[in-house]
Structure 1
Amino acid sequence: MEILETIGFDLGHGETAVAKAIVESIEPPEMLEVNNKKIQVTALGWHPDLGYLVGEQALIQAGVTQLKITFKQKPNNDPTYRETIRTFLETYFRLLKDNKQIKGGDSDYFYVGCPSGWSLSDREEYQKLLKEAGIPLLNVVPESRAAFMQAKEAGKLEYDKLKSSVLIVDIGSSTTDFTLVKSLHEIPIDFGSNSLGASLIDKAIFARTLAKHEQKDLLERVFAEYPHHQARCELACRKAKEDYFSNEQLFSNPQSFARGFESINEQIYFIPQVNKLIMEEILNQPLSELGNKSWMQCFRESVIEAKEKLAQKAIVPRIVLMTGGASRMKFTRQICEEIFPEPDTQVRPDPEPERCIALGLARVGRWDLRAAAFKQELNKLLDSDKIKDIIKKHIPELVELLTQPLSFGLIENAIKPGLKDWQSNKVRTLADLEIALKKRAEQWLKSDRAKLLIDNQCVSWFNSKIQPDLALETDPICRKFQIPRSSLRFEEGIDPDVVNPDLSIGDAILAETVAFIVNVVIGGGTLASIFLLIITGHFTWPIALVYGASAIAAGMELNRKGVKDAIKTNMDIPSWLRSSFLNDSKIENICEKINPDLEMTLKEQLTANQAAFDELIVKVGQSLQKALNAKAEEAIILIQ
């Protein structure tokens, strides 16, 4: 069955949220509701009559006899943990189907997040556990990837930032994860044992409130016999913390408090309260879970360690993207800004961290499916003969573009200087002139100036002939996946100084073409034809008219060809006669007369080397395929 929707399932240690994206649409995903709420406390309760309840319902429903909260952790073999995770997801899945928010069959693909610090084996084991909940299609991906995708598609990251280094700081309820996204690939920064979660602050508030409670001993007995009461009290501590960080300025007054509330019965109440003084005390007190370091100290050291690990790789992130519900705590942003100062780095907290991961997971799922289809579509083009046919079709235009400047270049840089050398008696015989001309021609063809000339003509050929035909093949792919046509175009041509140098298409195509042209002109008999044009066609017979009598008087019984060969090999005209015989005007005249013949010779020689051109077509086609693949890797990030 065709997959129509991707479901982003953010099963968090503290909260759970779900979002849905339509695969064939680029509209933003929508948040789904359970119990009429888009964000639910991660709680699972058991009611003797109602069965399993999740979220707020598990907390407020009278008669709940079992309650579990903050149960997300690395997969393990604890049967209670496995049953809790499986039951929670199974119940959530059923509720989403019952209220018709998802179809629930093979047309839905669930993407569930996990901390980026989890290993691949952890993810695989977690995915295996979650599939036991009866969800047909399910994939586990790092939450950092979801945060990055949400920031990208919500327009919070410009394209140049997407391609640079982005550090994602995900401050969750159970862990704080640091992930580098470089060139669109995620690289988790390993901190070994990572237990820096915001729920430790909840527990510290709980411990402080319990320690100061008038009925401490009684509460401890209640919590031991009825654990669900302790769970509710811990959630009250969490609410107090969240209220405080939502408006810190309000609670800077010693007489103002952010409070939570939980009733054990009509006589016993648990009321955690915090203000600025209390919160500073809690954030700076040593915690056994953090090796007797305070939460604030541990967070600061973790950010510094992340920076040092990046510095070892000579990486300075352009963006520090903060997400996770605890990123709302103002001091975490201040620490990040202090350690990653502007202008080198910009710190950007997500404005809706509680929704960010669910929305991002739905986008990741849609992106994965559309990106795979995009690659498949491009591969169909690359595997066909269309690119090779485009190049082959336009080879005659390439020959046309090359013959005139090559002819002019050979005349100016080889023929004309060579004739002037003969004029000034630097070259003795015409045979020596032929050798000198060939050497000059080869030197010029191998020079940077000649290569640049050929480069320029090839760039013109590619831009005016190849690129438009190639665009006719790539533009429909871009339209289909709603990305700019320029994503698969070489808009600025193949000049590697203009186009993204990483593609190297200019280098590859131009290097192949220059080498091909030089080899054809030097090794294909072209130079020999040039010398035939100059020496025998425009130069030798005037010499024969002057020296013919002397040659015959010397007993040289020669035919027409023999006279030319003899003059070429033996005739050494005196230096005082050369400048009058071949003055500058005559050299210009000879060069002007041979130019059309030279262009024709070059065209014939190039066209005659069809086998060599076939090899060039293959090599240019391979370079284009490689370049298109590289552009596709960049274009994929634009798919929504």
Structure 2
Amino acid sequence: MVLKYLVGIDFGHGETTASCINVADGSLQHLRIKDADKEDLFKISSAVYKIPRKDKSYDYTLERKDGYGICISFKTTVDNLRKTSHLQDKEAFENFIRLVYKAIKDNNSFLEDNGSDSNFLIYIASPTKWSKREKAEYKEFVEKAIGRKIGWLINESDAAYYHKKEYGGLTLVVDFGSSTIDFTLMYNGKKIDIDDLSNRLGAERVENNLLEIYRNDKNSNYAEITRISSDNVRNTKNNHISVYEETLFSLREQKETFYTKYKSLSNFYWDFEFNWIILGIDGVDPFRIRLKKKEEEILRDYMESVSSLFSEVKERIDKECKDRNIDVSQLRLILTGGASRMPWVRSSLLKVFGENTRLTKDDRPEYIVSDGIVNYAYALYQVRKEIAPIVNDLKDWLPELEDEMHQIISGVCQDICLKEIQQDKAIISYLSNEFQDDTVIDTDPRNSYYHNYYKSSIKGFVRIVDGINKRIYKNRKDINEEIFKRLNERIHEELDPMLRKSMLRLFHVEVSALNLLRGNQGILPLIQDNFTIGSDKLDEITDCCLERVGWCSWFNVNTLYGDESHEGTIRKDRGPNDRNRIARAYYDFIRETEFAPYSIGTIKDNIYNYVLDNIVSTVKDHLTFDPCGYDMKAEILSELERLRPFTARITSCEGKCVVVQRMEGMPKEEDTIEVEAEGLPALTALIKNVPSMNEWIRLTLDTEIPEAYLGGTVRKI
């Protein structure tokens, strides 16, 4: 199915939101989790309700009804969820995730999910301080709950930054959530890691503090009403209902009402008729709080803890900036997260960082994480669309490069062999006027009729070369390095311009130095066979020399020995001109020889894989974040599949609908492509499988094709 949307879900501790981006135009919208008309009502509280079954297990729902038990505060690491004390939380959280995903699909009909065939991808976020293992386990946990793969997982505060991203400057994101306060520090689009400072000082501490004050007040009715309520739960056989969780959730809602309406908890009050609202039992007093106190008195300890955390963060930022020679005075603060609505948080932050520090507060803090998730997903989608054609061009270009590769490899072997031989002292001496007469033992004369000085001179020269060749072969690693260098230069010449333009479009950066092969790390196998030219090719060398000298000259300058072979000591001394002619002929023989020390096919495959890996590495170096589970290489290869061309025969056509026989290279999933048919302009086509006919596919074109094209072909462009 055609990929149309990217979906980001923020399963928050206090509330859950979902956002979506259309890949065609990059437009963002908020998804309905609740089926509501107003966007403010799309989100839901992170609460799920359990319905008892006769077998003492539970069904779960997002809808609150009489007799249902509430489950809250279940978001934690999978390690914690595995503990016996958290097994109910594990079940509740798993069902909450499942139901949220179902609600998103049900309430947003443009999202199509047919099992493994969907028109959207999903991404999520996690608390920043979680370890890599905890994030990976959480991703798997969500995948199991919804029954499909998650693209990747990003830190919540990283997602918040990306929604408000700036390419330059020093920025601190403070994501003040219900369970945690997360921090992301960025400088010129690059992250400075302070994840370890993220802290479980989220705003759930507020309702916990309120409940603790209520519980410890000597004049409080908490103990009595809790006892009566627990008895009523037991007597009505509603043991699935938790008095504590119902009370805490009601207190959280009242806290949020106060901050929305009064911007403070001063003179906080709360009435919760648990027995009537939850159990339907009348005549029992409500839980009741009446605090004739200012907010600072109610939350003193919590506010001090938060202020202390902000001070610790500031000290760390000062140190990180000093170490990097960054001007800390340019720091900009972004305050977000659902709990950032509490006005005292902003005041506390500015008190620590300075009243003149620039601070941006998000208008829709509940959506900043889910918006940031899909914004970053769209950025990575753009990377995939931008880089895949470059890799595709590389794949198409490498077969065309084969002849050039042959020339480069052979040319390096020729150049090094010639250089080493021509510059060797023994060869220089052989070609000089001072070269002295000498004899060699010749036990293998190669010519039964003309066994003469000239041929002996060739053999003598080659024997000198043999010693040099041993050194060349021993140092064959140098040849590999030179071949690698020239191949690398050619690949850069071809790919550099495209990749630089892509990096500028994607990341707004001029990349000065690209290294697509990054050293010969197994790209070229070590040469095993001796490729040098010496005595093993004496006949071929001799023929080349005689051809260069000419038969007439050769006959005139040599002495006839008779028609029998002769063994013994043979003079190899010739005049300087003859010796130079032998050497030049040998050099010509090297230049005319095609050296192939290893398989071009192997090298071509190695180059493709290494260049692909290094393109991925180069691009990843410029990513703002590297989310858990993100595999850029797999994304690019997936896009390559979509780019593959094919030709298919038309078996039937009616109007805009054409059925073609499936052929190698055709997409396996629904896709929108451009095709062409002979005599017609390029067409846009939607590919769909024909039901129950795996060998056929249907193309729905944007124009009609005449029946005359039956039996013809269509080609993907």
1:172 aligns to what? 177
Which has more strand, going by share of residues?
2
Distance in 2, Cα, partners of 1:372 & 1:177: 29
2:203 aligns to what? 198
Q: Does 1:133 align with 2:145?
A: yes
8 A contact 2:95–2:145 mirrored in 1? yes
CA 1:207–1:370 in 2, change beyond 3 Å: closer, same or farther? same
How far apart are 1:121 and its partner, in Å? 0.6
How far apart are 1:214 and its partner, in Å? 5.2
CA 1:174–1:224 in 2, change beyond 3 Å: closer, same or farther? farther
2:6 aligns to what? 6
8 A contact 1:178–1:188 mirrored in 2? no
8 A contact 1:116–1:177 mirrored in 2? yes
* Equivalences for residues 95-494 of structure 1 within 5 A: 95-101=103-109, 102-104=111-113, 105-106=115-116, 107=118, 108-138=120-150, 139-152=152-165, 157=166, 159-160=167-168, 164-191=169-196, 194-212=199-217, 215-222=221-228, 226=233, 227-248=241-262, 257=268, 259=270, 261-265=272-276, 266=282, 267-272=284-289, 277-284=293-300, 294-314=301-321, 315=326, 316=328, 318-341=331-354, 345-379=357-391, 487=505
How many residue pairs end up in the alignment? 400
CA 1:46–1:630 in 2, change beyond 3 Å: closer, same or farther? closer
Q: Percent identity?
A: 23
Distance in 2, Cα, partners of 1:258 & 1:382: 69
CA 1:628–1:88 in 2, change beyond 3 Å: closer, same or farther? closer
1:408 aligns to what? none
Give the aligned residue type for 1:179: T
Distance in 2, Cα, partners of 1:129 & 1:627: 32
Deviations 1:340-366 (A, max 9, x none): 2366x4221211111211222222222
Point out where structure 1 has 5 or more consecutive residues left out of the alignment.
Answer: 285-293, 390-468, 479-484, 491-498, 506-625
Query: Which moved further from structure 2: 222-231 or 39-48?
Result: 222-231
8 A contact 1:474–1:489 mirrored in 2? no
8 A contact 1:239–1:259 mirrored in 2? no
Deviations 1:239-259 (A, max 9, x none): 22223323446876x6xx564
* Equivalences for residues 499-538 of structure 1 within 5 A: 503=512
Distance in 2, Cα, partners of 1:379 & 1:636: 22
Give the aligned residue type for 2:227: R
CA 1:261–1:23 in 2, change beyond 3 Å: closer, same or farther? farther
Give the aligned residue type for 2:252: R
How far apart are 1:301 and its partner, in Å? 1.2
CA 1:627–1:364 in 2, change beyond 3 Å: closer, same or farther? closer
8 A contact 2:225–2:286 mirrored in 1? no
How far apart are 1:52 and its partner, in Å? 4.2
8 A contact 2:263–2:343 mirrored in 1? no
Deviations 1:68-114 (A, max 9, x none): 11111122223333222211111222222233443234432221211
CA 1:211–1:379 in 2, change beyond 3 Å: closer, same or farther? same
Deviations 1:277-324 (A, max 9, x none): 34222211xxxxxxxxx2111111111111111222225363221111
1:617 aligns to what? none
Match of 1:264, SS state, is helix
2:71 aligns to what? 68
Point out where structure 2 has 5 or more consecutive residues left out of the alignment.
Answer: 234-240, 277-281, 402-494, 515-613, 626-717
Give the aligned residue type for 2:47: A
Deviations 1:198-256 (A, max 9, x none): 1011111123334457532332225656553332221222122223323446876x6xx
How far apart are 1:11 and its partner, in Å? 0.7
Distance in 2, Cα, partners of 1:205 & 1:474: 58
Distance in 2, Cα, partners of 1:9 & 1:70: 17
8 A contact 1:42–1:54 mirrored in 2? no
How far apart are 1:14 and its partner, in Å? 1.0
Which has more helix, going by share of residues?
1
How far apart are 1:488 and its partner, in Å? 7.8
Give the aligned residue type for 1:215: N
1:404 aligns to what? none
CA 1:489–1:219 in 2, change beyond 3 Å: closer, same or farther? closer
Distance in 1, Cα, partners of 2:20 & 2:352: 36
Deviations 1:430-482 (A, max 9, x none): xxxxxxxxxxxxxxxxxxxxxxxxxxxxxxxxxxxxxxx998x689x87xxxx
TM-score (norm 1): 0.54
CA 1:379–1:271 in 2, change beyond 3 Å: closer, same or farther? farther
8 A contact 2:159–2:369 mirrored in 1? yes
Distance in 2, Cα, partners of 1:127 & 1:250: 37
- Cα RMSD (Å): 4.2
Distance in 1, Cα, partners of 2:13 & 2:342: 17
* Equivalences for residues 541-580 of structure 1 within 5 A: none
Q: Does 1:42 align with 2:42?
A: no
